[in-house]
Amino acid sequence: MPKTLLLVGTRKGAFLLESDADRRDWNVRGPFCEGWPVYHAIHDAGTGTIYAAAASEWHGSAVWRSKDLGETWTLSSEGIGYPEDSSRKVSKVSTLAARNGRVLVGVEAPGIFESKDGGETFSLLTTLEGQPGSEAWDDPANQPPGHLGISAIALDKDNDSRFWAIVQGVGLFETTDDAASWTPRNRGLRADWPRPHEEVGFCVHKVVRSDDTRLYQQNHVGMHRSDDDGHSWTEITEGLPTEFGFAAAAHPHDRDTFYVVPLAPLHGRTMPDGKATVWQTKDAGSSWKPLRKGLPQEDAWLGVLREAMAIDTYDSPGLYFGTSTGQVFASNDEGGSWNEIASYLPPISSVEVAIVD
Amino acid sequence: MADLHLPGTLTPLFAGLPRRLDIEAATVNDAISELERQWPGLRDRLCEPGPSLRTHIHVYVDRERASLSTPLEARSRVDVIAAISGG
Q: Are A69 and A50 in contact (CB under 8 A)?
A: yes
- Tell how strand A102-108 and strand A92-99 pair up: antiparallel
Q: What's the pLDDT score for residue A141?
A: 67
Interval A202-224: pLDDT, tens? 999 999 999 889 999 999 999 99
| C-alpha distances in Å from residue A319, one per residue of A133, A225, A251, A347 | 36, 20, 9, 19
Interface membership of A77 toward B (CB under 8 Å): yes
Q: What's the pLDDT score for residue A275?
A: 97
Interval A141-191: pLDDT, tens? 666 655 668 999 999 988 999 999 999 989 999 999 999 999 999 999 999
Interval A31-71: pLDDT, tens? 999 999 999 999 999 999 999 999 999 999 999 999 999 99
Chain B residue with the nearest C-alpha to that of A76: B41
Mutation site, B39, B44, B46, interface A, largest A CB count within 10 A: B44
Q: What's the pLDDT score for residue A142?
A: 65
Average pLDDT, chain B: 95
Mean pLDDT of B19-24: 97
CA dihedral of residues A237, A226, A219, A339 (deg, nearest 10): 70
How many Å is the Cα radius of gyration of chain B? 12
In chain B, what residues touch A59 (CB-CB under 8 Å)? Answer: 9-10, 13, 45-46, 54, 57, 82
Nearest CA-CA distance, residue B87 and chain A, Å? 10
How many C-alpha atoms does A54 have within 13 Å on its Cβ side? 32
In chain A, what residues touch B40 (CB-CB under 8 Å)? Answer: 78
In chain B, what residues touch A77 (CB-CB under 8 Å)? Answer: 41, 44
A21-30, A79-88, A108-117, A319-328: which has the minimum mean pLDDT? A79-88
Whether the pLDDT of residue A139 is over 80: the answer is no
Mutation site, A59, A72, A115, interface B, largest B CB count within 10 A: A59
Interval B42-67: pLDDT, tens? 999 999 988 999 999 999 999 999 99
Cβ <8 Å between B13 and A84: no
Whether the pLDDT of residue A94 is over 90: the answer is yes
Neighbours of A275 (CB within 10 A): 17
Q: Phi-psi category of A120—alpha, beta or left, where left has phi over 0 and alpha has psi -120 to 50?
A: alpha
Among candidates B41, B49, B82 on the partner chain, residue whose Cβ is nearest the Cβ of A58: B82
CA distance B7 to A50: 27
Tell me the pLDDT band of B85, cut-offs 50, 70 and 90. low
pTM score of the predicted model: 0.95
Q: Which of residues 178-237 of A touch B (CB under 8 A)?
A: none
Q: What's the pLDDT score for residue A157?
A: 86
Residues of B near A (Cβ–Cβ under 8 Å) read 7, 9-10, 12-13, 40-41, 44-46, 48-50, 54, 56-57, 82, 84, 86
pLDDT over 70 percentage in chain A: 97
Whether the pLDDT of residue A240 is over 80: the answer is yes
Whether the pLDDT of residue B68 is over 70: the answer is yes
Q: Are A157 and A108 in contact (CB under 8 A)?
A: no
Interval A335-355: pLDDT, tens? 999 999 999 999 999 999 999
Whether the pLDDT of residue A140 is over 70: the answer is no
CA distance between the termini of chain B:
37
CA distance A164 to B74: 55
Q: Phi-psi category of A196—alpha, beta or left, where left has phi over 0 and alpha has psi -120 to 50?
A: alpha
Chain A residue with the nearest C-alpha to that of B81: A58
CB burial string B48-87: b at 16+ within 10 A, e below? beeeebbebbbbbbeeeebebebebeeebebbbebeeeee
ipTM of the complex: 0.91
CA distance A129 to A86: 13
| Position with higher pLDDT, A289 vs B48 | A289
Interface membership of A59 toward B (CB under 8 Å): yes
Cβ <8 Å between A58 and B54: yes
Q: Are A107 and A80 in contact (CB under 8 A)?
A: yes
CA distance A3 to B57: 41
Interface membership of A120 toward B (CB under 8 Å): no
DSSP letter assigned to residue A347? P
Chain A residue with the nearest C-alpha to that of B83: A58
CA torsion through residues B4, B70, B8, A78, sign: negative
Cβ <8 Å between A60 and B86: no
Q: What's the pLDDT score for residue A357?
A: 87
Q: What's the pLDDT score for residue A143?
A: 63
Q: What's the pLDDT score for residue A328?
A: 98
Cβ <8 Å between A81 and B45: no
Average pLDDT, chain A: 94
Sheet containing strand A163-167, edge to edge, reads A150-155, A163-167, A171-175, A183-184
Give the Cα-Cα-Cα angle A233, A234, A235 (nearest 5 degrees): 120
Whether the pLDDT of residue A137 is over 90: the answer is no
Interval A244-280: pLDDT, tens? 999 999 999 999 999 999 999 988 899 999 999 999 9
